[in-house]
Amino acid sequence: MTRISPLPYSSARTAVGAGLLTVVLLGLAPDAHADDGGAAEPPAPPQGAAAAAHKAAADDGTLGTLARFFARDGAVTAKKAEPRVKGGAVPVYTLSKDFVAAKSASRAAGRPVAELELFASEAVSSDGQRASVMSARTPKGWRVVNIATGADETRYAAKGAAKAPGGTVFQEPQIDAWYVLDGTRVLPLDPDARKAVGAGGTGLGAYHARVHKAYADKLPGSGYDRKGLAGGFGPKKGNNTFEAASTANTRTSDGSTSALGAVGASAAAVAVAAGGTWLVRRRVRPSHG
């Protein structure tokens, strides 16, 4: 099950409307650039953050919502869903706006390719359904800000660790692509990533050139953003919530939907803190043209 994570271009996770860029990326050849200086490592998660995120994901209130979430299509009743949180919370990194904004590969070289977005925990129901429970720190402490079908976050974290031990797993959410940064190489972890950078991956210079060309003029505050086109599908209209949310969404290849389509994680977290409401939605996937 594929999905789109909250977009990374939410300006310290507070801007709303930096939705999915359904841009057709032509991509550069994997070795189009040889100017691949090392990228800075993303800041490590705060001590205790993973444990706090897991606690929020596994509390009784979240489990109750998960039961209703797993029962949404009638495959199982909420009473019999018996959700449980499996394993610990993993950090979720997304493509960094600072890396994208850099005007050249040499300027991008010292900037982290990705930045920490939130934490994800895998939840499982009695009938085998899986979901990602995403938690973020809010002014009122750690809260769940999203639930989405599937378990991409934990699955790709494990896949990336196996492919490049010690590397940073991150998502380019605009095309739903997952990668692992292995030194100066960006290696693909899923079909969308392989389409973008090739089966053997690409160097940092080539990767920067591609994402800068695709997204640099679509960051918060750009004309594209001000017109409400940051989702690639026009101004927000309607919603498709399971429990509570007000955000646009796009169609998926498998008919599923997601939370946080056009709302950044921290925006959702602020909404949680302010109104006690958090987003619960099935996954979305961008249209690739």
The verdict on residue 92 lying in a domain is yes
The verdict on residue 265 lying in a domain is yes
Which one is predicted more confidently, 77 or 41?
A: 77
Q: Which amino acid is at 263?
A: V
Dump pLDDT digits (tens) for 204-234. Answer: 999 999 999 999 888 776 666 666 655 433 3
The verdict on residue 98 lying in a domain is yes
pLDDT over 80 at 282, yes or no? no
- Predicted local distance difference test score (pLDDT) of residue 285: 52
Mean pLDDT, rounded, for 243-253: 29
Quote the domain boundaries for residue 61: 49-275
pLDDT over 60 at 19, yes or no? no
As for how many domains the chain has, the answer is 1
DSSP 288: -
Q: Which alpha helices (H) appear in the chain, and where do they start and end?
A: 49-57, 60-70, 78-81, 97-101, 105-108, 152-163, 191-197, 204-215, 223-226, 265-275
Nearest to 78 by CA among 65, 89, 90: 65
Q: What is the mean pLDDT of the chain?
A: 73
- Predicted local distance difference test score (pLDDT) of residue 105: 80
pLDDT over 60 at 90, yes or no? yes
Could you give the CA distance from residue 84 to residue 94 in angstroms, rounded to a whole number?
Answer: 26
Provide the phi-psi class of 198: left if phi over 0, else alpha when psi is between -120 and 50, else beta.
left
The verdict on residue 82 lying in a domain is yes
The verdict on residue 35 lying in a domain is no
The verdict on residue 288 lying in a domain is no
pLDDT over 70 at 98, yes or no? yes
Q: Distances in Å between the alpha carbon of 269 and those of 38, 54, 55, 195, 264?
A: 32, 16, 16, 33, 9
Written as six digits, the tokens of 112 are 């982290």
- Predicted local distance difference test score (pLDDT) of residue 226: 65
pLDDT over 70 at 5, yes or no? no
- Predicted local distance difference test score (pLDDT) of residue 269: 36
Q: Which of 32-41, 69-78, 249-258 has the lowest mean pLDDT?
A: 249-258
Which one is predicted more confidently, 7 or 184?
A: 184
pLDDT over 90 at 260, yes or no? no
Mean pLDDT, rounded, for 98-126: 91
Dump pLDDT digits (tens) for 116-163. Answer: 999 999 999 999 999 999 999 999 999 999 999 999 999 999 999 999
- Predicted local distance difference test score (pLDDT) of residue 39: 67
The verdict on residue 289 lying in a domain is no
Mean pLDDT, rounded, for 273-289: 45
Percent of the chain, pLDDT > 90? 53
Which one is predicted more confidently, 202 or 285?
A: 202
The verdict on residue 113 lying in a domain is yes
Which one is predicted more confidently, 275 or 247?
A: 275
